[in-house]
Chains A and B, each alone.
Chain A
């Protein structure tokens, strides 16, 4: 045995991995740099020629990366809000007010054993969470978050959304079927029944809106709602019945209380996800919360004016050109943070005798950052349309998410027969009524 082989044997597993990966990374990086240096212009030309594809890939990557973050925020909201409604305090240990608890939950899920049952179908079993998660994340591709901030202004946006969103059922059925567990299969079939049943009133309730709007492009629908700048232009006021049906069906579509029979966590084990553990279960879990966000976002876009503000705000122009300050800008950047920190630290140090000077400095620094961040946000809101739009869009969306969580904190779960009966006997006729009345109104108004 040579000395080299002996050294290799003495390495731990991470050491071996690093020893392989570091040279590989070095070679790849060098190769990439050389490629960019030699063929940079050609690559750029190819990318520019295929801009829609680049845009799609970029947007999909951003959405897939942002999806866990959104899920973390919503999971934290759910834990905290339901705790407050139960007269508890809720998460308050990890991070400020416990806000990192959902992140820690994510890490915990990542560290758990990834278990596959004996005689399960490994391929389907592995792909089911991927399908569920990616359909949830990819259906966000057509949602306009702010003016100009959307992946694709697709002229069949609504149709695309329902088509991709409907594929979730495939993932759930895959998970239920591949688990080799009759209860998982029953759970999968149960969730498929629920989601497909509610898909029909959900889609039909939007058809009236689409007839009014004359387009399926979500961006155009938002623009139509921003005519006078007042919230009375929103489609929720022109399609109230449609809005109600859409809200109820969307709740069922997102598997939220009172229609969370798919994963009735207090009654059946976990439905289709019974045999899932570790990060595979984590992806189902993430998908559920991303579904909440997506459904809220779609409701906002279709019925609540999207990124438009509810009131016309007086236009304020605040032009600051930092370039004119010259060397003063440099001095300002150097001095203002120090002065601001000291200024905000002073009251803590003077008026709270038990505060030590360094604690006061930390508090002052944090406070200074909060104030400056707020001012910066205000400046961005005034100067950039898309910041203002994103602000209103997220405010409305998370308002609806709060509503979902609020409903979960309040309402009891319905029975499966009540669930199905309500969808077919009430929601579907109501959606059809809404459709016919809208069609009649359009005919009567457009007649002369």
Chain B
């Protein structure tokens, strides 16, 4: 072929033209994405990856929807801690300390063990069901249902939320989101009045407190004492 291409002028030209003509009739490589989605397995949900925005901050808002939608429950997640540090992990929850924290358990709908290692009291599902019946099991009335539940129990027990989720068909994460959005809904029973009084008593009285505060900041910039 090398000899031929040297002997016949224009052979390379013809070869190139033939190549493009073959390409002209060849099947095309374009993927017509929105019209023709890729042929993937039914349970495929994409690659597990946390995305960052252009400022380098995580885009994850810890909405738990991915964890809730995961068909094989392989996603487990956390969020930002109180100091603003990211501790976002995915994988088996048992490997992470914060997964065993009470708030994490409650957020993911798992059983929250009592602090005092007490068994849960038998839960009165009939009350929840009555509230649900009154609101026609309609997830659109979630705020009213939650308010009724709190009126009945004093707070929103995990078992009640799970019952509501089961009966209304709303995702647990959505109910949790609704409940955590409103300040007047709470997940813990309010502290007993006696206990509250005791805590107030242990706090320094105003005079002593201000005196101590003035002493602690005296002579430092910002302090005026």
Out of B13, B17, B24, B30, name the residue touching A89 (CB < 8 Å): B30
Residues B29 and A88 in contact, CB atoms below 8 Å apart: yes
Most buried by B among A84, A89, A410, A411: A410
Contact A407:B23 (CB < 8 A) given known A88-B28, A89-B30: no
Q: Which residues of A contact B20 (CB under 8 A)?
A: 85, 406, 409-410
Residues A84 and B28 in contact, CB atoms below 8 Å apart: yes
User: Nearest chain-A residue to B18 (Cβ)?
Assistant: A410
Q: Is A87 an interface residue (CB 8 A)?
A: yes
Q: Which residues of A contact B13 (CB under 8 A)?
A: 411
Q: Which residues of A contact B19 (CB under 8 A)?
A: 410
Contact A88:B30 (CB < 8 A) given known A410-B16, A410-B19, A411-B13: yes
Residues B28 and A407 in contact, CB atoms below 8 Å apart: no
Q: With the chains together, A201 CA to B13 CA distance in Å? A: 21
Counting contact residues on chain A (CB < 8 A from B), the size range is 10 to 19
Q: Is B41 an interface residue (CB 8 A)?
A: no
B15-57 CB contacts (< 8 Å) to partner A: 16-17, 19-21, 23-24, 26, 28-30, 32
Task: Classify the interface of chain A: helix, strand, loop or mixed.
Answer: helix
A385-409 CB contacts (< 8 Å) to partner B: 406-407, 409
Q: Is A86 an interface residue (CB 8 A)?
A: yes
Q: Which residues of B contact A409 (CB under 8 A)?
A: 20
Residues B26 and A407 in contact, CB atoms below 8 Å apart: no
Q: With the chains together, A89 CA to B26 CA distance in Å? A: 11
Q: Which residues of A contact B26 (CB under 8 A)?
A: 87
Q: Which residues of B contact A410 (CB under 8 A)?
A: 16-17, 19-20
Q: With the chains together, A292 CA to B30 CA distance in Å? A: 29
Residues A407 and B30 in contact, CB atoms below 8 Å apart: no
How far does the Cβ of B33 sit from chain A's closest Cβ, in whole Å? Answer: 12
Residues A87 and B28 in contact, CB atoms below 8 Å apart: yes
Q: Which residues of B contact A85 (CB under 8 A)?
A: 20-21, 23-24
Q: Is A361 an interface residue (CB 8 A)?
A: no
Can you sample 27 A-B contacts with CB below 8 Å?
A81-B24, A84-B23, A84-B24, A84-B28, A85-B20, A85-B21, A85-B23, A85-B24, A87-B23, A87-B26, A87-B29, A87-B30, A88-B28, A88-B29, A88-B30, A89-B28, A89-B30, A406-B17, A406-B20, A406-B21, A406-B24, A407-B17, A410-B16, A410-B17, A410-B19, A410-B20, A411-B13
B residues apposed to A, CB below 8 Å: 13, 16-17, 19-21, 23-24, 26, 28-30, 32
List 8 other contacts, CB 8 Å, given A88-B30, A411-B13.
A84-B24, A87-B26, A87-B28, A87-B29, A87-B30, A406-B17, A406-B20, A406-B21
